Amino acid sequence: MGWLAILIPLVVFVVLGFVATLLFGWLIPALGGDLHSWYAALLKAAFILLGFVMPLAGVLTWMERRQSAMMQDRLGPNRANVGPVRAFGLMHFVADALKMLFKEDFVPANANKLLFALGPVMAIAPVLITFAVVPWGSGVCAGHLTDRLTDGQLAQCLDTGGGRFQVVHLEIGLLFYFAIASLAVYGATLAGWASYNKWSLLGGLRASSQMMSYEVTMGLAILGAFLVYGSLEPATIVQAQGDSILHWGVVTQPLGFVLFFTAAIAETKRTPFDIPEGESEVIGYFVEYSGMRFGMFYLAEFMEVIFTSAIVATVFFGGWQIPGLHADGFVAGQMPHWLVCTLQFVAWAVKVFVLCWFQLMIRWTMPRFRPDQLMRLGWKQLLPASLANILITAGVVLALMPGAK
Amino acid sequence: MAIGVKVVARPRDLGQQAYVPALVKGLGVTMRHFFDNLFGGGKHIVTIQYPEERAVYPKRYRGLHRLMVREDGSVRCVACMCCPTVCPAHCITILAEQTGNPNEKRPRVFEIDELRCVVCGLCVEACPCDAIRMDTGIWSSPVALRGDAVQGKADLMKRGALSTAVQGGAGGDWRDKQR
Ligand code: SF4
Ligand code: SF4
């Protein structure tokens, strides 16, 4: 039975990868569409968000409960069914969504109506936007799906054809990510303030102090990777990790990986960094929210988990790269283009999935930090460590750089 | 008397301060359980899936009450009022009536409010003629209305069975029989 937990996601990812390859490599060009156009970008966004992120976020809400149950020797929710189809209770997230949609949407009497409504939107929108820069595959060369392309041909085709598996190819990609992701703090703070409730206000303040503190570490921790790969563009960073597993960020930047991952988990506001929410004791910033507005906070949290996984996979685990897999297979001329494309998407999806699983693992293992411990960890331990990481990395890069004496 | 304060030393060794070794150890434990349960067919899982699986109650578990019957199918209870007297929750209501036998009464109404019952079992202890028992092993079932939780004489006797205890004990002449 347990093997299904590996097999089913794998099959789904293969199907998704194949669909993406067909959609952007054949269907859109065949219909006369232009892959450089705005509607192609929109389609890519729709594909990755509606096809991968949203369903996975939904499944994660169920997976979190099942997984935590397994870790604690329980069974977890395994009952929700459609007729006789029970599927291990997988339908629980659908039931959850329905429940939230039909619950009363309560607005406290003295709340600021506009900001109260804006809170969940501000929490969820930045996460959705940041997915624009994540590359989920090298991309397709339209019209050459059955050909055996070399690395060079593919690179040229991607530069001109616009078939990249990435919504926007931004030179400042990761900076864009930091810029947008830091907006998420407004969601929490606004929600806390607009609720007209002292406890939610305090929760919002805790959220903003925590998120701002850890953003610093997060930005500095990833600087090491910038130095190593010489680019801010996620697709380029992934490209640079292709040759072997030794080029992966986790090998070249082990400290950077630990620091970034820690800070990113803190950004998602989940245990052990869940002081802003404190589900059971300290009451969080969304205490006044109910129904689907609460559901949006909830969903945003899980999408942040996915996004954290996606960025960590991109920068530290080679993104869509499978070590040794070139544009024409493991040996020259072995695989057609569509197969490689699909495999790369599957590699990316598997990495994201495993990292999500790992984050859930951490979330259900660690106890919560105290606020003072949290601040001490952020400012006195992670920050100096990330600064040291930059210095060392810069020194090594300088020493190894051709032309440096 | 002043309250003493015991200062607990903070862990000073690097292993504890660095947090990471403890984290790895903790992850090891949770992961072991997770994989054991996922791939080992739920090795450690203690959940009982209620409607399908049921916990086995111990033999002397005090379940829903029942009233035992005699050979002729009539109720064994003689309305002696021992059980309503002893019941700490005052949840037994008995209205007695006459039988043809001048030595015995019987309950016309026998009601137990299972919502008030504290399941102490004293009524069973008190009964002189093995008329009331709690050995059904049935967990009080949920009801929609509070009134439905009141078990009447018919309900109680439905679960009843023949008791082989001698009704009335050894009889009024037991002292004579001793000789
Ligand atoms: S079990 Fe205790 S509380 Fe319940 S009816 Fe008997 S004597 Fe009363
Ligand atoms: S103690 Fe026994 S005989 Fe007496 S009233 Fe109760 S059930 Fe009837």
Which atom number of ligand 2 is nearest to the Cα of residue B130? 2
Residue pair B108/B96 in contact (Cβ under 8 Å)? The answer is yes
pLDDT band at B171 (very low <50, low <70, confident <90, very high): low
Note the pLDDT of residue A350: 94
- The residue with tokens 């359980």 is B33
Nearest by CB to B34, from A71, A75, A258: name it.
Answer: A71
User: Whole-model pTM?
Assistant: 0.84
Note the pLDDT of residue A402: 73
Q: Kindly report, residue by residue over A112-136, the tens digit of the pLDDT.
A: 889 888 888 988 999 999 989 999 8
Q: Is B21 on the interface with A (CB under 8 A)?
A: no
For helices A254-267 and A291-316, give the axis angle rounded to 10 degrees: 170
Paired tokens of A139: 């991309």
Query: B129 in ligand 2 pocket by Cβ < 6 Å?
Result: yes
Query: B79 in ligand 2 pocket by Cβ < 6 Å?
Result: yes
- Sequence-distant (6+) residues with CB within 8 A of A15 are none
d(CA A385, CA A254): 12
d(CA A55, CA A57): 5
Note the pLDDT of residue B97: 93
Q: How many helices (H) and strands (E) does chain A have?
A: 17, 0
- Sequence-distant (6+) residues with CB within 8 A of A399 are none
Q: How far apart are the first and last CA of chain B?
A: 70
Closest ligand, as measured to the CA of B120: 1
- How far, in Å, from the CA of B4 to the mean position of ligand 1? 47
List chain A pLDDT tens, one digit each, 405 residues.
Answer: 678 888 888 999 999 999 998 888 888 888 877 878 888 889 999 999 999 999 999 999 999 999 999 999 988 888 888 888 887 888 888 888 899 889 988 888 888 889 888 888 988 999 999 989 999 888 888 878 888 888 888 888 888 877 888 888 888 888 998 889 888 888 888 888 888 888 888 888 888 888 888 988 998 988 888 888 888 889 888 988 887 888 888 888 899 999 999 999 988 888 788 888 776 777 788 888 888 888 888 888 899 999 999 999 999 998 888 888 888 778 877 788 888 889 999 999 999 999 999 999 999 998 888 888 888 888 988 899 999 999 999 999 888 877 654
The answer to whether the bond into A367 is cis (omega within 30° of 0) is no
Cβ–Cβ gap B37/A365 under 8 Å? no
- How far, in Å, from the CA of B115 to the mean position of ligand 1? 11
Cβ–Cβ gap A75/B31 under 8 Å? no
Residue nearest to atom 6 of ligand 2 (CA): B83
Cβ–Cβ gap A72/B33 under 8 Å? yes
B-chain residues within 8 Å CB-CB of A67?
34
Which atom number of ligand 2 is nearest to the Cα of residue B127? 1
List chain A domain ranges: 1-102, 106-400
- Sequence-distant (6+) residues with CB within 8 A of A301 are A268, A269, A270
Residue nearest to atom 2 of ligand 1 (CA): B120
ipTM for the complex? 0.85
DSSP secondary structure string for all residues of A148-191: ---HHHHHHHHHHH---SSS---TTHHHHHHHHHTTHHHHHHHH
Nearest by CB to B37, from A73, A364, A377: name it.
Answer: A73
Q: Kindly report, residue by residue over B5-46, the tens digit of the pLDDT.
A: 888 887 777 777 777 888 889 899 999 999 988 888 878 888
Size of interface A-B (CB pairs under 8 A): 49
- Sequence-distant (6+) residues with CB within 8 A of A256 are A221, A222, A224, A225, A249, A316, A386, A389, A393
- How far, in Å, from the CA of B85 to the mean position of ligand 2? 10
